[in-house]
Amino acid sequence: MSNPKIVILTGAGISAESGVATFRDPDGVWAKFNLEDVATPQGFARDPAKVQDFYNMRRRQMGTVDPNAAHAALAALEQALPGKVLVVTQNIDDLHERAGSRNLIHMHGELARAICLGCSESSAWADDITVQSQCPACSAKGRLRPDVVWFGEIPYRMEEIGEALTGCDLFAAIGTSGSVYPAAGFVEEARAGGALTVELNLKCAGWASRFDEQIEGPATQVVPDFVE
């Protein structure tokens, strides 16, 4: 999209009430799995099966959860303001698109896609990735990995996101701890371009002081109220 006026950054908190675990909350993913083992290229090089198991488990879980009222509210906002809303999600689940969002950037990739280490093509992928999995583009076997962005890798569509942040009037961050860059720096980029910046979070701690306004509460309650 060329000229969105509202840019919404979402994080794991928007999917929490759908039953998808966040990362850094006490019961989050990083309390159960070592980040270095499952979310870095080095971890994948050491033990690819362990990393594939981790993402296969999360991909299977996607089929058991549904979008919630917060995802639906953002999709409705986009419908009400055609061409004006861009959702940038750090989440690799597909709940925004299943709720109806279309102007959507998955900056950390998607569970529902696999990328080939041989030909670099990304393909839609619904099943487990195994050593027998064949790349739909080049037919190589055993060369697929989840098309997600690990630490040390460059998030997707950064130029497009940067332009949208600089040109927007409103930037809202929903359900993210602001601990991972470059997403954690988006609020400053938007503010430098003159945007009003708003954080919506269950608990506005941590990076809240970097926003003009904070709205505290569960996403399924505060997001529908916010977009009205």
Residues 6+ apart with CB under 8 A from 193: 165, 166, 167, 168
Member of 155, 164, 195, 226 binding ligand BJW (CB under 6 A): 155
Known binder of ligand: residue 116?
yes
**98: phi then psi, degrees, rounded to nearest 5:** -70, -25
Q: How buried is 214 (Cβ within 10 angstroms: 0-12 exposed, 13-18 middle, 19+ buried)?
A: middle
Binding to ligand BJW by residue 15, rule CB under 6 A? Answer: no
Sequence letter at residue 46: R
Q: Which of residues 57-116 bind ligand BJW (CB under 6 A)?
A: 90, 92, 108
Binding to ligand BJW by residue 26, rule CB under 6 A? Answer: no
Known binder of ligand: residue 52?
no
Binding to ligand BJW by residue 152, rule CB under 6 A? Answer: yes
| Secondary structure (3-state) at 86 | strand
b (16+ CB within 10 A) / e for 52-86: bebbbebbeebeebebbbbbbbbbbbbeeeeebbb
Is the Cβ of residue 25 or residue 37 nearer to ligand BJW in the bound state? 25
Binding to ligand BJW by residue 168, rule CB under 6 A? Answer: no
Among left, alpha and beta (phi > 0; psi -120 to 50; other), residue 218 is beta
Binding to ligand BJW by residue 181, rule CB under 6 A? Answer: yes
Q: Point out the residue whose Cβ comes nearest to ligand BJW.
A: 13
Binding to ligand BJW by residue 182, rule CB under 6 A? Answer: yes
Is the Cβ of residue 86 or residue 107 nearer to ligand BJW in the bound state? 107
Residues forming the site for ligand BJW (CB under 6 A)? 11-13, 16-17, 22-25, 28, 39, 90, 92, 108, 148-155, 158, 175-177, 179-182, 201-203, 218-219
